[in-house]
């Protein structure tokens, strides 16, 4: 790594050759204002607000694009620089509508902040009166073009980060504006509602309908956590105000997703229409009645404690924390001898005994095979990585029998039976990547083994915490008819019971641990209300086998409790000591996941 030594504002600064002036300054803690630049995007030098003076250069230059060279002398706030920045701000404020008091972004706006910083307290030029239409056709977002400064961050994010290319810049001069596809209404465009454009927009031009006008950053709190909508486990920040979740942002620093989220993670949790269960319920004389936790747990303990191991059936959703899965296994399987356990979703076939490939590998591939899995539908952020690779020239081969959301981006679409052709191509590639999931047949799995040592394999598990569920043994065929006592830990998952429940003995005692009312909770003998994603702490293991923390952003609704806590209280009622605090249980759970992974 070659280092260049430069001087910024008289201060010596050393940074890697090839860094921009902006990067070098930031590393040294020197602030240069920016608007069109964003750390996650390729710089384009469009807005000119980052202008700095460099000794020996004829004009001011843009710090966000200009690379440093040995001995460079930079001034970031010289009178000439400040004058130029003020002019740019005057022009930006004059163009379109920047009357801040009426703007959703006021208080959180990068343009407004710069206005304060450089003392822009009046309009130098008459303000612009060409009105642009507002596009509110999108189900989650609206675009107020009159607040747009044409920095292009949204457009570049849509292309570079999400590889969706919905947004573009059209026309020129004072008619320029952001458009979707070819001037389609946003709601009818190819937009996949990932919200990345929302997250990068520096002004009030893009807002989300759910949380707009509900609070500035200073009035809110933010909690980092992990998404529980699929097995990718994206890092995110939950923004809350007075105990309510306002919005969800992606975590730029998260290793797995680095600023990406999909609609499932960013928007769906804010619009959950289902009815919450807020109190423990116990069936008395045929009716479910609210009771205390103590009473509900006691009745469960009585029935479970009296049952033989082989009479106990346990079903779990993969939407459970590592801690809950650990306790379910410890309490029911190891302490009480239950063997009849099952998972509510299918599991990807096992290819090799070694640890799994990482999602970051996807962008390193020149040939990407997607076998029996549709990340567009099931793990959207993984599909962003695939599409980004295709943009950069990787060849995508989709091997799947059903419809596949990646098919339009593939240069070859094959049926599973024809996987051999894809394998031949992968053999000739420099770095083939294989993404595979439940749809990979036994024969396909067998032929994929030919690529061992050559390709990197990335498993895309269905469900959420499927990795940990399998680790704790929740995958062998559950036999409903054998259960005299059924403990179903649904969490947030919708599960009506289907045919499986019909096969359960009429006289069986059914305990449902769930967040939402469903046909199954109606039939239960005991219902234990479970905290949802925003209300619980613990950890989840993603499809790579990476253990990630989930944190509590708001208090559980009513009397609901986190999944692991319910099980820990039940264990106590049964006189089993399985760990007293979350930290203790978490440590035990994670240790076991790691141990079992090494055993594979």
Partner 1 sequence: MKLEDVDLLKEFTSEQIAKLDEIISKHRGKPGGLIPVLEEAQVSLEYLPIGIQKRIAKGLNLPLSRVYGVVTFYSFFTMTPRGKHTVRVCLGTACYVRGGKAIAEKLEKEFGIKEGETTPDRMFTLETVRCLGACGLGPVVIIDEDVHGRIKPGKVREILSQYN
The binding site for ligand SF4 (CB under 6 A) comprises 148-154, 157-158, 162, 164, 166-167, 178, 191-197, 200-203, 205-206, 227, 229-230, 232-234, 257, 261-262, 264-265, 379-381
* 46 touches, from partner 1, ligand SF4, ligand FES, none (C-beta below 5 to 8 Å by class): ligand FES
Query: Quick one: what does residue 171 bind among ligand SF4, ligand FES, partner 1, none, with the CB cut-off 5 to 8 Å set by partner type?
Result: partner 1
Question: Considering only CA atoms, which of 152, 160, 151, 158 is closest in space to residue 41?
Answer: 160
CB contact at 8 A, 348 and 460: yes
Judged by beta carbon distances under 5 to 8 A according to partner kind, the member of ligand SF4, partner 1, ligand FES, none in contact with residue 154 is: ligand SF4
Beta strands in 108-262 (DSSP E): 134-135, 141-144, 167-170, 177-180, 206-208, 221-226, 235-241, 244-250
Q: Which is nearer to ligand SF4, 185 or 519 (CB)?
A: 185
Which three-class secondary structure state does DSSP give residue 388? Answer: helix
CA gap 190, 155 in Å, rounded: 13
By beta-carbon proximity to ligand FES, the closer residue of 167 and 297 is 167
Given the complex with ligand SF4, which of 234 and 386 has the nearer CB atom? Answer: 234
Nearer to ligand FES, 48 or 96 (CB): 48
Contact partner at residue 48 from ligand SF4, ligand FES, partner 1, none, CB < 5 to 8 Å by partner kind: ligand FES
Q: Which residues sit at the interface with partner 1, rule CB under 8 A?
A: 155, 159, 165-172, 179-183
Radius of gyration of the chain (CA): 28
Nearest CA to 49 out of 8, 106, 124, 110 is that of 110
* Binding partner of 172, given ligand FES, ligand SF4, partner 1, none, CB within 5-8 angstroms per partner class: partner 1
Instruction: Name which of 268, 201, 215 is nearest 41 in CA terms.
Output: 201
Q: Pick from ligand FES, partner 1, ligand SF4, none: which does 168 bind, CB < 5 to 8 A by kind? A: partner 1
Residue 573: CB atoms within 10 A of its CB come to 16
Closer to ligand FES by CB, 34 or 518: give it: 34
Instruction: Compute the least distance from the CB of residue 135 to ligand SF4, in Å.
Output: 10
Residue 386 interface partner, choices ligand FES, ligand SF4, partner 1, none, CB cut-off 5-8 Å depending on type:
none
Residue for token digits 């509510």? Answer: 344
The residue at minimum Cβ distance from ligand SF4 is 265
Closest CB to ligand SF4 among 372 and 380?
380
**Which residues of this chain interact with ligand FES, rule CB under 6 A?**
34-37, 45-50, 62, 64
Q: CB 319 → ligand SF4: shortest distance, Å?
A: 11
Q: Which residues contact 231 (CB under 8 A, 6 or more apart)?
A: 318, 379, 460, 461, 462, 463, 464, 465, 466, 467, 542, 543
Pick between residue 303 and residue 395 the one whose CB is nearest to partner 1: 395
Nearer to partner 1, 168 or 290 (CB): 168
Please check whether residue 31 is in contact with residue 11, taking contact to mean a CB–CB distance below 8 angstroms: no
Three-state secondary-structure class, residue 440:
coil
Residue 64 or 547: the one with the smaller Cβ distance to ligand FES is: 64
- Cα 300 to Cα 303: distance, rounded to the nearest angstrom: 5
Q: What are phi and psi of 87, to 5 degrees?
A: -60, -45
Residue 265 touches which member of ligand FES, partner 1, ligand SF4, none, C-beta under 5-8 Å by kind: ligand SF4
Q: What DSSP line would sit under 568-593, residue for residue?
A: HHHHHHTT----SSHHHHHHHHHHHH
* Residue 157 partner contact from ligand FES, partner 1, ligand SF4, none using kind-dependent CB cut-offs of 5 to 8 Å: ligand SF4
Measured from the CB of residue 380, what is the shortest distance to ligand SF4 in angstroms?
5
Shortest spacing between CB 212 and ligand SF4, in angstroms? 14
Minimum distance from CB of 26 to ligand SF4 (Å)? 20
Q: Given the DSSP bridges, would you call strands 141-144 and 206-208 parallel, antiparallel or unpaired?
A: antiparallel
Nearer to ligand FES, 85 or 229 (CB): 85
Please, which residues have CB within 8 angstroms of residue 518's CB and are 6 or more apart in sequence? 490, 494, 495, 496
Helices (H), 153-200: 153-156, 196-200
Length of the chain: 600
Q: How far is the CB of 376 from ligand FES (least distance, A)?
A: 33
Instruction: Measure Cα distances from 139 to 37, 168, 192, 339 in Å.
Output: 28, 19, 11, 46
Give the helix/strand (H/E) hosting 282: strand 281-284
Residue 191 near which of ligand SF4, ligand FES, partner 1, none (CB within 5-8 Å, type-dependent):
ligand SF4
The CB-of-169 to partner 1 minimum distance in angstroms stands at: 5
Smallest separation, CB 296 to ligand SF4 (Å): 32
């Amino acid at each position: 790594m070659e280092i260049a030594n430069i001087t910024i504002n008289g201060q010596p600064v050393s940074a890697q050759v090839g860094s921009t002036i902006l990067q070098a300054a930031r590393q040294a803690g020197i602030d240069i204002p920016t608007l069109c630049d964003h750390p996650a995007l390729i710089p384009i030098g469009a807005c000119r607000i980052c202008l700095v003076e460099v000794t020996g250069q004829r004009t001011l230059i843009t710090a966000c694009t200009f690379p440093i060279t040995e001995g460079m002398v930079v001034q970031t706030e010289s009178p000439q620089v400040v004058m130029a920045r003020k002019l740019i701000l005057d022009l930006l404020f004059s163009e379109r509508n920047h009357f801040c008091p009426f703007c959703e972004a006021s208080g959180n706006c990068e343009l407004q902040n710069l206005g304060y910083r450089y003392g822009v307290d009046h309009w130098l030029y008459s303000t612009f009166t060409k009105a642009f239409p507002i596009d509110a056709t999108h189900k989650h977002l609206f675009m107020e073009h009159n607040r747009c400064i044409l920095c292009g961050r949204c457009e570049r994010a849509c292309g570079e980060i999400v590889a969706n290319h919905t947004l573009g810049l059209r026309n020129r001069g004072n008619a320029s504006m952001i458009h979707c596809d070819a001037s389609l209404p946003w709601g009818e465009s190819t937009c996949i509602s990932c919200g990345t454009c929302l997250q990068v927009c520096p002004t009030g031009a893009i807002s989300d309908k759910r949380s707009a006008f509900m609070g500035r950053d200073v009035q809110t709190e933010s909690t980092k956590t992990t998404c529980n909508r699929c097995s990718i486990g994206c890092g995110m920040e939950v923004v809350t105000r007075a105990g309510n979740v306002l919005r969800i942002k992606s975590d730029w620093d998260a290793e797995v997703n680095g600023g990406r989220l999909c609609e499932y993670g960013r928007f769906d949790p804010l619009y959950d229409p289902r009815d919450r269960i807020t109190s423990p319920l116990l069936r008395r004389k045929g009716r479910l009645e609210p009771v205390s936790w103590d009473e509900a747990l006691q009745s469960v303990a009585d029935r479970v404690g009296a049952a033989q191991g082989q009479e106990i059936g346990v079903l779990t959703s993969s939407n459970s924390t590592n801690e809950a899965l650990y306790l379910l296994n410890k309490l029911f399987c190891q302490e009480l001898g239950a063997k009849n356990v099952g998972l509510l979703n299918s599991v990807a076939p096992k290819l090799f005994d070694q640890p799994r490939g990482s999602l970051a590998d996807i962008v390193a591939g020149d040939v990407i095979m997607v076998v029996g899995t549709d990340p567009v539908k099931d793990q959207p952020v993984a599909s962003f990585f695939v599409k980004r690779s295709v943009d950069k020239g990787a060849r995508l081969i989709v091997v799947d029998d059903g419809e596949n959301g990646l098919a339009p981006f593939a240069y070859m679409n094959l049926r599973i039976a024809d996987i051999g052709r894809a394998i031949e191509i992968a053999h000739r590639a420099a770095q083939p990547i294989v993404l595979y999931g439940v749809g990979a047949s036994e024969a396909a799995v067998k032929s994929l083994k030919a690529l061992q040592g050559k390709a990197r394999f990335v498993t895309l598990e269905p469900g959420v915490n499927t990795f940990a569920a399998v680790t704790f043994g929740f995958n062998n065929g559950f036999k409903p008819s054998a259960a005299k006592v059924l403990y179903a830990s649904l969490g947030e998952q919708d599960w009506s019971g289907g045919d499986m429940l019909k096969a359960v003995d009429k006289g069986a005692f059914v305990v449902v641990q769930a967040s939402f009312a469903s046909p199954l909770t109606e039939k239960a003998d005991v219902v234990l209300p479970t905290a949802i994603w925003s209300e619980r702490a613990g950890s989840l293991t993603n499809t790579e086998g990476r253990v990630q923390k989930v944190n509590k952003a708001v208090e559980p609704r009513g009397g609901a409790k986190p999944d692991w806590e319910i099980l820990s209280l039940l264990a106590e009622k049964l006189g089993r000591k399985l760990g007293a605090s979350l930290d203790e249980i978490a440590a035990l759970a994670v240790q076991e996941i790691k141990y079992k992974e090494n055993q594979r």
